[in-house]
Structure 1
């Protein structure tokens, strides 16, 4: 066990160093890095919490997590990357996920991203939905998002301004359901895999919601 702990620590240290060297945009946009993927796979093989969705481990699973690596990008970053000359128009400053206890055997999930839209200033988008246990109840969840929200947090670059949040409900028949596998979890790091194998590496942000929001806006 001690050997495993030391190996995990060494692998995580190398992972953080490689992700940092890769740079924020390359780590979240479609550009899979095989070395990083192999490090993550090694960590998955020595997962200290084999059943991360177990109710016994909710205190570790829940909280604020910053996305630091996506092997094939995300829905948002793939969309942005498809825009011609997006580097000069759109800058993604943060991508995060908040997990909280939900009702009816579920976990409440909010996925958010903060953008700098050049002269339009900073804008935040957020998708809110639920994880529900599915199949292997302690590893796999069904994910469905029911509302989207958009807000100008610093319109036209003026920090003293902000626009009200606009919430857009998603009609039930349009709500797509997807499977989400949590393949690694400890106090600092979480790895999730989508149905197609795309892997997402999250690092915990140990702050309150209010503090997180102010950090995201000011970063």
Structure 2
């Protein structure tokens, strides 16, 4: 089995990577590399109709994200990334479940721009983080990623920990190494890989 089917089978049951063993991670990495070599969209930043929209995380090696699951009494729920190329914005939302009535979320809003290296500028972007919001879902009337993003765009201040990100070090880059109509693979500046599926 090759291609997308092989990758999806490799990551099945791994809970975004939380349950992946070292052997699992090696097999998943090999499947990712094989798929990247067959990327049908070599200039993903030009393919806005594919890139735009809401994406759900299937697998990552990012311990920063996966560690959320280690918080006492809480479990990492779905993680979404909403991409809006018209305004060069990215919204990351991690849902947190656990104790009833204490379901939470962590959200980061960022802007992106093409990477300055011309040879990479059609697939790699610089990411500048701008705003972080975290709190209880019920206190901000959280219904869905899309509805929450609309509230952010309206300039609403939330009953939550809501603060701008201004530190210079809060920057990074993300390279899109595979993109089709429903699957995206990206690699970040810290060496992490992200596999996402498009939310219909």
* Match runs of 1:89-128 below 5 Å: 89-103=73-87, 107-128=88-109
Q: What does the per-residue CA deviation read over 1:155-195, in whole Å, with 9 as the maximum and x for residues that have no partner?
A: 7xxx9xxxx55362324235511111111100010001012
For 2:33, which of 20, 26, 41 is the aligned residue? Answer: 41
Q: TM-score normalized by structure 2?
A: 0.78
User: Is it true that 1:201 corresponds to 2:195 in the alignment?
Assistant: yes
> Which has the higher Rg, Structure 1 or Structure 2?
1
Structure-1 separation of matches of 2:138 and 2:130:
26
Question: Bigger shift: 143-152 or 127-136?
Answer: 143-152
For normalisation by structure 1, the TM-score amounts to: 0.72
Distance 1:29 1:78, change over 3 A: farther
Give the match's secondary structure for 1:36. Answer: helix
Tell me, which stretches of 5 or more residues in structure 2 are unaligned?
A: 144-157
Provide closer, same or farther for how the CA distance between residues 123 and 99 of structure 1 changes in structure 2, counting only shifts above 3 A.
Answer: same
Contact 2:69-2:75 at 8 Å conserved across structures: no
- Number of residue pairs the alignment of both structures matches: 178
Structure with more of its chain in helix, by fraction: 1
Unaligned runs of 5+ in 1: 1-6, 207-219
1:54-133 to 2 correspondences below 5 Å: 54=46, 57-70=47-60, 72-81=61-70, 83=71, 86=72, 89-103=73-87, 107-133=88-114
Deviations 1:47-87 (A, max 9, x none): 00011112xx01101111000101x2342323543x5xx4x
Name the Cα RMSD after superposition: 2.5
